[in-house]
Copies of this chain bind each other. A is one copy, B any other.
Amino acid sequence: MIQIPSTELDLTSDVAHLTAWLIDVDSVSGNEAGIADAVEKALHALDHLEVVRDGDCVMARTRLGRAERVILAGHIDTVPLPAAPGSRGTVPSSWDGDVLYGRGATDMKGGVAVQLALAAALEEPTRDVTFIFYDHEEVEASLSGLGRVAVSYPDWLVADFAVLLEPTDGTVEGGCNGTARFDVRVTGKASHSARAWMGVNAIHGAAEILVRLRDHEQLTVHVDGLDYRESLNAVKISGGTAGNVIPDGTVIEVNYRFAPDKTPEQAEEYVRSLLEGFDVERTDAAAGARPGLQHPAAAAFVAAVGAESKPKYGWTDVARFSALGVPAVNFGPGDALLAHTDDEHVHADAVRACLRALVDWLS
């Protein structure tokens, strides 16, 4: 049984212990001040780094004048703690043999621990390194700490390549699918349900929409050497007002996770074409990111860490770096499918292996 470290954040301790320490500081989105304070203080103790802070986003970087600069980025917030009694993916953390349970174990206190351990371990990395620890990733995009500093301090994000330490379970995940949401509306005419022929049923009118969505063939798109699997789905439906009234309206919310060969506008065009004849309104969209693994810096990274490359299906902040012109990949410890679950956990060796790979790459 590995013990949880004391309350002093020690960047030279085992990176798995460091992960447990970070989990034990509750940092649900909006409550990142405590963990940001600890991160900032620990980094200030390292003389080889410039450390600055904006809100609860902490940036630390070397200034060695290397030919290339890379960013290592991770968010310090988590989704809320599990509500179900007895859940192990909570705060404080707990160990079961070499497996560490706790909120953020995979998403992404393990990745943040790797960033911190790396910052302490490498005084003279072979590439200049910028570490970004940011707030508000698990809530609406407009609150994102990374989005905020991209506007307020664009020089923090200047680099040749970025690694986002989101969980990828030992692989390199390149790019990400985009995501767009649509409201599809059917309008009918209300009448008493005992005289239905005087109305027009807007729920029956939605049948054709659901049939097209159900029968639509989900695409898999080859982009820069990786296969991106798309998902186009109704995610919510509501219609009707009362048990004795013919419904005069139905709204279907559609979510399209589209491959990064499409812009949000092209994704919208695709959905409009599929649902032609219906009232489609786009309510939200975020562009995807091409994997960019052909970029020399990315190719060198993949070769150095010796990991398999895969596509990322979910949207991540890789897309923000991509939009800033910085090629970026996801590479971090833990299984993304455990993120946000009541059973969130990570194996100590996965965190250690990730750290080792990055130390090798930058030494």
Q: Chain B residues near A177: list those with CB within 8 A.
A: 194
Chain B residue contacts of A204, Cβ below 8 A = 210, 213-214, 233-234
Query: Which chain A residues (218-238) contact chain B, with CB distance < 8 Å?
Result: 218, 229, 231-238
Contacts of A236 in B (CB 8 A): 203, 239-243, 247
Q: Does A246 contact B (CB under 8 A)?
A: yes
Interface residues on A, range: 35 or more
A245 at the interface (CB under 8 A from B): yes
Of residues A177, A204, A213, which shows the largest number of chain B Cβ atoms within 10 Å of its Cβ? A204
Are A238 and B238 neighbours in the complex by a CB distance under 8 Å? yes
The smallest beta-carbon distance between A334 and chain B, in angstroms, is: 15
Chain B minimum-CB-distance residue to A312 = B194
Residue A124 interfacial (CB < 8 Å): no
CB A64 to nearest CB in B, in angstroms, measures 38
In order of increasing CB-CB distance, the 6 nearest A-B pairs are A236-B240, A207-B210, A196-B231, A194-B314, A204-B214, A203-B234
8 contacts between A and B (CB under 8 A): A181-B243, A197-B231, A203-B234, A204-B213, A207-B213, A235-B242, A236-B241, A236-B242
User: What does DSSP make chain A's interface, helix, strand, loop or mixed?
Assistant: mixed
User: What is the 8 Å Cβ interface bit string for chain A, positions 192-211, against chain B (1 contact, 0 not)?
Assistant: 11111100010111110011
Q: Which A residues are within 8 Å of any B CB, using their own CB?
A: 177, 179, 181, 192-197, 201, 203-207, 210-211, 213-214, 218, 229, 231-247, 250, 252-253, 255, 257, 284, 313-315, 337
Instruction: Give A201 to B243 CA distance when docked, in angstroms.
Output: 25
Given the contacts A194-B314, A218-B197, A313-B194, A234 and B211 also touching, CB distance less than 8 Å: no
Which residues on the B side are within 8 Å of A245 (C-beta)?
Answer: 235
**Chain B residues closer than 8 Å to A239, beta-carbon distance:** 234, 236-238
State the CA gap A244–B242 with chains docked (Å).
28
Interchain CB contact under 8 A, B196 and A218: yes
Chain B positions within 8 Å of A314 at CB level: 192, 194-195
Please name all residues of chain B whose beta carbon is closer than 8 Å to the beta carbon of A197 when the two chains form the complex. 218, 229, 231
Q: In the bound complex, do residue B235 and residue A203 qualify as a contact, i.e. CB atoms below 8 Å apart?
A: yes
CA distance A314 to B246 in the complex (A): 13
Quote the shortest CB–CB distance from A335 to chain B (angstroms): 12
Complex CA gap A235/B231 in Å reads: 29
Contacting pair B240 A235 (CB below 8 A): yes
Q: Let me know if A240 and B246 touch, CB within 8 A.
A: no
For A252, the closest partner residue in chain B by CB is B203
A233 x B201 contact (CB < 8 A):
yes
User: How near does chain B come to A340, taking the closest CB pair, in angstroms?
Assistant: 8
- A203 contacts across to B, CB distance below 8 A: 210, 213, 233-237, 252
